[in-house]
Amino acid sequence: MWVKFIFALIPIVWLIISLKALKMPAAKADVISLILAIILAITAFQLPVVDTLTGTLEGILSGLFPIVYIIVAAMFTSKVTFKSGAMQKIQDMLCGLTTDKRVLVLLIA
């Protein structure tokens, strides 16, 4: 039981070491960790290859979907705001409050 626990920790420990100690880019460290997890799932946990790969694909898609959803919603909101002229009204309103740019930055933030 402890052996499987140690095997399950290997990709997580690799990720921490590669990001902190080795200063590796996150995208590269994540891909290596994913490959390591796939290899461990197939060899150490005897998970079938098809199940491992479909689980990997499901994990990737479930991680990407919320991100893409938020980006598309933000782009839609931005386009509607600019096309309707509401952004200009917001800009005029904020510029009417004060002429000090530092205060404007604090208000916007």
User: Rounded CA gap, 35 and 26, in Å?
Assistant: 14
Whole-number pLDDT of residue 45: 94
Residue with the larger pLDDT of the pair 10 and 88 = 10
| pLDDT-above-90 percentage for the chain | 73
For 48, phi and psi rounded to 5 degrees? -60, 150
Instruction: Give yes or no for residue 17 having a pLDDT over 90.
Output: yes
Residue 98: which pLDDT band, with cuts at 50, 70 and 90? confident
pLDDT of residue 58: 96
Asked if residue 97 has pLDDT above 90, the reply is no
Q: In a 10 Å sphere around its CB, with 0-12 CB exposed, 13-18 middle and 19+ buried, how is residue 22 labelled?
A: exposed
Question: Dihedrals φ, ψ of 42, to 5°?
Answer: -75, -45
101 confidence band (pLDDT: 50, 70, 90): confident
Between CA 101 and CA 5 the distance in angstroms is: 55
pLDDT tens-digit series, residues 52-72 = 999 999 999 999 999 999 999
CA–CA dist 54, 109 (Å, integer)? 42
The span from the CA of 54 to the CA of 48, in Å, is: 10
| Domain residue ranges in the chain | 1-47, 64-109
